[in-house]
Structure 1
């Protein structure tokens, strides 16, 4: 199987996706949070694969999405503490 030349709108730029995942993760702790993220990441990887995105690119997109989610959580927490 060949790597594709298809590119996607970067997941980390999809604000509603990032914020939605961040809100759910903030409401969970420990293994519940880990399980939610693993499930979410797997679902997204499957969707990207079915769309013809190369596996390495799909994995990179999901990693970058996770960083955006973590940044979103940190930014919101910093804003709460600043008030």
Structure 2
């Protein structure tokens, strides 16, 4: 049996997901924010794995999602300061 070639709709393009995670992270500080992100990432990795997504691709998706979340936070912060 070979590795799966299944790919998911890119997580970083799911605006509600990105914005929802960003808003929660903005409301947390320090270890609370870290714990929230680790838990969220772990849950997403499990969901992707259960959907048949290869582990390396799932990890890449979660990493790209984190960048999108951080970008969303930075954009919103810049707009607030402007």
TM value normalised by structure 1: 0.96
Structure 1's consecutive aligned runs of 4 or more residues displaced over 4 angstroms after TM superposition are none
Match of 1:70 in 2: 70
Aligned length in residues: 82
**Equivalence map 1:20-35=2 (5 Å):** 20-35=20-35
Shift of residue 46, structure 1, vs aligned partner: 0.1
Q: Structure 1 residues 72-81 or 1-10, which shifts more?
A: 1-10
Query: Quick one: distance in 1 between partners of 2:13 and 2:3?
Result: 23
* Deviation sequence 1:22-59 (CA, Å, 0-9, x none): 00000000000000000000000000000000000000
Match of 1:6 in 2: 6
Listed as ranges, the gaps of 5+ residues in structure 2 are none
Shift of residue 74, structure 1, vs aligned partner: 0.1
SS of residue in 1 equivalent to 2:4: coil
**Equivalence map 1:40-59=2 (5 Å):** 40-59=40-59
Listed as ranges, the gaps of 5+ residues in structure 1 are none
TM value normalised by structure 2: 0.97
